[in-house]
A and B are shown apart, each in its own frame.
Chain A
Amino acid sequence: EAGVTQSPRYAVLQEGQAVSFWCDPISGHDTLYWYQQPRDQGPQLLVYFRDEAVIDNSQLPSDRFSAVRPKGTNSTLKIQSAKQGDTATYLCASSLNRGYEQYFGPGTRLTVL
């Protein structure tokens, strides 16, 4: 069974540029999560979906970050105008349902110069 896949694996931007991250969850998993992991810290939840619906986006910096999952399968996380403070690894995870074990993708390592 294929795991969670993410692309790109790395991204380097100048401040003010936009970037999108893509995630393909494990087949059959209806719940999808995006986490931000700054260097030397634990992951922190940004947003999560059940099917195509956003369940919780309270930790998403809404002025510059957006996330969609239009068909309830793949998802895209976008940063409109990146700042140096956005430098981190962005991890996608999926679970069979809410409250079940979460499985993580390899992450996208973002550097904003």
Chain B
Amino acid sequence: GDQVKQSPSALSLQEGTNSALRCNFSIATTTVQWFLQNPRGSLMNLFYLVPGTKENGRLKSTFNSKESYSTLHIRDAQLEDSGTYFCAAEPSSSFSKLVFGQGTSLSVVP
């Protein structure tokens, strides 16, 4: 089954607007990583989270281990934010392995 479920699967945003992506976990999770995959296929690290919140520029991410979810907030979306966003969970039962969601395809339009 889907151990890491991402929503929405696809999203179109107008430049300058805000949005939130979400991951729900059906497995006990120790840490979460968020990545952005660009059209060439490279995975860029966005956040590495233990339970709590981190912020970097226009991006903010939260990992709530008790309620088994993580969110990624994008503020003032820019064209270069387009791509596929993946969250990945490190299961408590499988130290060091990452289980990825199916991704959210984001398109930022002028």
Contacts and interface: CB of A to CB of B under 8 A. Distances in A.
Interface of A: 31, 33, 40-45, 48, 55-56, 89, 91, 95, 98-99, 101-104, 106-107, 109
Interface of B: 4, 30-31, 33, 35, 40-43, 45, 48, 86, 88, 90, 94-103
A39 B87 CA distance: 17
A56 B98 CA distance: 12
B46 to A, nearest CB: 11
Contact of A104 (B35, B96, B101): B35
Contacts of A43: 43, 86, 88, 98, 100
Q: Which of B40, B41, B42 has the most CB of A within 10 A?
A: B41
Contacts, number: 52
Given A104-B42, A107-B41, A109-B41, A99 B95 contact: yes
21 contacts: A42-B4, A42-B88, A42-B101, A43-B43, A43-B86, A43-B100, A44-B100, A45-B98, A55-B96, A89-B41, A91-B43, A98-B95, A98-B96, A99-B30, A99-B95, A101-B33, A101-B48, A102-B33, A102-B98, A103-B45, A104-B45
A92 to B, nearest CB: 11
The main secondary structure of chain B at its interface with chain A is: strand
Interface centre among A55, A56, A102, A107 (most CB of B within 10 A): A102
The 4 closest A-B pairs by CB, nearest first: A42-B100, A98-B96, A104-B43, A101-B48
A44 B42 CA distance: 15
